[in-house]
Structure 1
Amino acid sequence: MNISFYVLSESKAQDFLGFICQLSQTALNKSTQSVLILIEDETLLSTLDEALWAQEATSFIPHQRLPNHNTESAGIGIADTDNKSLTPVLLGNHMPADFKGIVINTTIHPVNRFMTTTNNAHPTRILELIKPDPSSVQEGRHKYKSYQQLGYELTHFKV
C-alpha cells in the first residue's frame, strides 16, 4: 500500500477545507475508486460537508456522510455498506466494511487503527495531511513510524 504524506504550508493549512476539497477532486480525477475522508471532529465534518457541495458553481463534489460508527442510519448499515451504491466521496469517523479505495486521513490516528475494526477493508492508497503546527507534526511522525513498521511504501510532499 502507498502512503503519501502532505506536509502543508502555512497558507494551505489556513485553507484546510479548500485543500481537502482540491485533493478529493484530484483523487477522483486520477482514479475510478471511491474516496473516504476520515474525520473525527464533528465540526470539521459538518463544515467539510458544506464545502464539498459549494466547491465550485460548475463542479460540486458528490459525497455522502456515513452514519456515526456506533449507530445505523436509514438505508446504510455499517456491516453491509457496499461502496458501489455510495457516492464517490464518503465522509465519516470510521471505515465502511469492504472499503477498497483512497483514504484521506485528517485524524490523529494511523489508518490501520480504523482497518482493525472494519470487516475486510483494504484501502489502496492513504493520503495523510500534516499541518505545520507542532502537535500535527508530532502525530505525523508517529503515523510515519507506524506505517514504516508495517512495510508500506511511504512518500511525502511539501505543499
Structure 2
Amino acid sequence: MQISFYVLGERYMKHDATAASTVSAVNAEAVLNFVCRLTQTVLNKSEHSLVIIDDQTDRLRELDEQLWSFDATSFIPHTLISDDHDDQVTADKLSAPVTLLSSLPQSFDGVVLNLAPTALPLSKSGTLPERVLEIITPDEVSKQQGRDKYRAYRDLGFELIYYPIN
C-alpha cells in the first residue's frame, strides 16, 4: 500500500501584516480548496471510493459545504456522516463516491484522505485501503504530526511518497 504525503508550502499560511515577520495561522480556506482539488483528482483517476477522515467535525462540515460549490462545472458527489454514526459505519454501507467522517470505516479498501492529526490505525493483517493521502500544512504543529505519521507508516513497512506543493 502506498502512503502519499502532500506537504503544502508557505502560500497556505496567513501572514500577519501587523507583526513584522511572524506567520500566524494556516489559511484554512486555501487548505480546503486544495482538499477539494485533490478529491476531484482522486475521483477522476481512481475507480475506488474516497473517504476523508478528520477529527475536527467543524472542518468536516466546512468541507461538506465547500465540496457542493467548489467547481461550477463539475459536481463532487459526497456525503457527511456525523459522529454519532461513525462507530456503526462499515465499508459496505458507504453509498457515495466520497464520504466525510471522523474515523476509518471497517474493511474499507478504497482511497483515504487523512486530515486527522494522527496516523491511521492500519495493520497489514487486516483489510487495507488502496492508498492513503496525508496533507501536511506549513505550520510547526502539522509538520511534527507529519513526521510522527511518517515514522508510524514507515515502521509498518508501507511505501511512502512525498509531494511538495508550492
Which residue matches 1:82? 92
Which stretches in structure 2 are left out of the alignment for 5+ residues? 14-26
Structure 1 partner of 2:104: 95
Distance across 1 between alignment mates of 2:133 and 2:90 = 25
Determine if contact 1:96/1:121 at 8 Å carries over to the other structure: no
Query: TM-score w.r.t. structure 2 length?
Result: 0.82
TM-score normalised to the size of structure 1?
A: 0.85
Structure 1 residue runs of 5 or longer lacking an equivalent are: none
**Contact preservation (8 Å) 1:95, 1:121:** no
Question: Displacement of 1:56 after TM fit?
Answer: 1.3
Aligned: 1:48 with 2:63:
yes
* Aligned residue number for residue 81 of structure 2: 66
Query: Do the aligned residues in 1 keep the contact of 2:48 with 2:110 (CA within 8 Å)?
Result: yes
Q: Distance in 2 between matches of 1:59 and 1:12?
A: 24
What's the CA shift for 1:43? 1.2
Structure 1 residues 147 and 43, CA gap change in structure 2 (3 angstroms): same
1:94 maps to a residue whose letter is: S
| CA-based RMSD | 1.9
- Say which SS state the counterpart of residue 72 (structure 1) adopts: helix
Aligned equivalents of 2:164, 2:89: Cα separation in 1: 37
Q: Deviations over 1:67-108 (max 9, x none)?
A: 32xx339xxx8255515x511101000112221111111111
Residue 22 (structure 1) aligns with: 37
- Aligned to 2:85, the other structure's residue is in SS state coil
Whether 1:135 and 2:141 are equivalent positions in the alignment is: yes
